Amino acid sequence: MMPAMTPRRPVLKRLSRLAALVAVFWSFAGQIKAAETAFVATPVGTPIVVFDPKRDACDGHDVADAPLRAWRGEDGQVHAFALHYENRRLSGKSLLAMKIECPVVYRGTGDGDPARYDDRVWIGATWTADGKTIHALGHHEFQANEHKGRCSFPEYMKCWWNSVIALKSLSGGARFTKELRPVVAVTPFRSEIGQGRHRGFFNPSNILKHEDGYYILMSTTGWDASPGREQQAGGVCLFRASDLAEADWRAYDGKGFNARYSDPYARITPLGRACKVIAPFPAPVGSFVKHRPSGSYLAMFQAAAGTPDGFGGSFSKSGFYLSASRDLLTWSRPTLTLETKSLYDSPCGADVLRSYPVLIDNDSPSRNFEDVGDSALIFYSEMRVEGCSHTGDRKLVARKVRISTYIRE
């Protein structure tokens, strides 16, 4: 005969209590897992005008019309670009002490043939190992409305065909030339296709060296699917190059860096493989840098109120935002740095628009200002508005920020 089972009851009670404790633990662990470290860049002090066209310009082309891109030259000076397509350097002992140099270091010729990629070019990204050889990426606009017979519409935006091209300087940035095979990113179709809206890749971020390669975040307007090409969503994609001298940039497609956008005017028609757009960026990323104290990467960008934020919601306010990442692919929910209207808002009712925000640290040990501490600067363009139009009165402004963190559910 089997013994009575009563001695098992205390064991069952203990197991029941243990199960309850385990359930509580995993519930608590789930809450911990759901929490994240949020980064905040808080403006402190008053804005500092670094460049004012009324005070500093060499001619009418010198306006703050691009994100700041800076490096330390072999001469010990800080050099940067942040102005217009008549590309002139800013130089000085520090980021806040830069002055314009009037010689033009690079200009497109306004060529009416889109296959030459030589219409209007803004130097949009730079990187150097030694301060003498400067690799650069140019934001190239083929403004087809300005060239007879090249566009079916008279309006600038309906004819705007964008690409990103590779440039190089062997003189510390005193002069740039276009690379022999300059096309870095372009639509897999020619300028005359899809007119009626802005098309292409545009506004590259700064170049960031990370592990075994070089990275940029680049915007695209997207395109429809057709035979031989996938549908491309509009947004921001991550590109990687293993060698800047080769300018062989490829975009992340969700599995790897497999999407390449070669010249559609070349003999072989390129395939249109889609890159994976990255949340939460609805507009070009002004900059992304490594935060030295934490090892996280911080991206600064602008967004208009009501724009989807990539997390199932939308941005509640227009302004500059900050997002963080550990791997450059997955980014945190953004935090507001500065509330302001930008180029992605209607100018009606605004005194100024602010755009092209860049997070940068004057004390960075990186020659290319690739990292920041807990104290840094944001540089941006401040554009005067008249009525419902922004004007060419555009200042380059800097403001100090303090970077801090908190745990967010």
What pLDDT, on a 0 to 100 scale, did the predictor assign at position 29?
Answer: 42
Give domain status of residue 96, yes or no: no
Structure tokens, 274: 């889609």
Domain boundary among 226, 259, 278: 278
- Assess whether pLDDT exceeds 50 at residue 321: yes
Residues 255 and 365 placed together within one structural domain of the fold = no
User: What range does the domain containing 385 cover?
Assistant: 38-65+284-409
- Assess whether pLDDT exceeds 90 at residue 228: no
Residue among 328, 323, 326, 343 nearest 385 (CA)? 343
Domain boundary among 261, 278, 295: 278
Q: How many CB atoms lie within 10 A of CB 171?
A: 12
B/e letters for 304-341, b = 16+ CB within 10 Å, e = fewer, are: beebebbeeeebeebbbbbbbbeebeebbbbbbbbebb
What pLDDT, on a 0 to 100 scale, did the predictor assign at position 409?
Answer: 78
Residues 261 and 384 placed together within one structural domain of the fold = no
Distance CA 64, CA 80 (A): 12
Segment 51-79, tens digit of pLDDT: 999 999 999 999 999 999 999 999 999 99
What pLDDT, on a 0 to 100 scale, did the predictor assign at position 336?
Answer: 98
Do the Cβ atoms of 363 and 371 come closer than 8 Å?
no
Residue among 138, 133, 164 nearest 71 (CA)? 133
Segment 159-215, tens digit of pLDDT: 999 999 999 999 999 999 999 999 999 999 999 999 999 999 999 999 999 988 999
Q: Which residues contact 24 (CB under 8 A, 6 or more apart)?
A: none
Q: pTM score, two decimals?
A: 0.90
What pLDDT, on a 0 to 100 scale, did the predictor assign at position 229?
Answer: 87
- pLDDT average, residue stretch 355-374: 98
Distances (CA, A) of 390 to 160, 346, 348, 352, 395: 19, 9, 9, 8, 12
Distance CA 123, CA 76 (A): 21
What pLDDT, on a 0 to 100 scale, did the predictor assign at position 33?
Answer: 47
The chain-wide mean pLDDT, for the chain, equals 91
Residues 249 and 372 placed together within one structural domain of the fold = no
Instruction: Provide, rounded to the nearest whole percent, the portion of the chain with pLDDT above 90.
Output: 85
Residues 244 and 153 placed together within one structural domain of the fold = yes
Residues 188 and 315 placed together within one structural domain of the fold = no
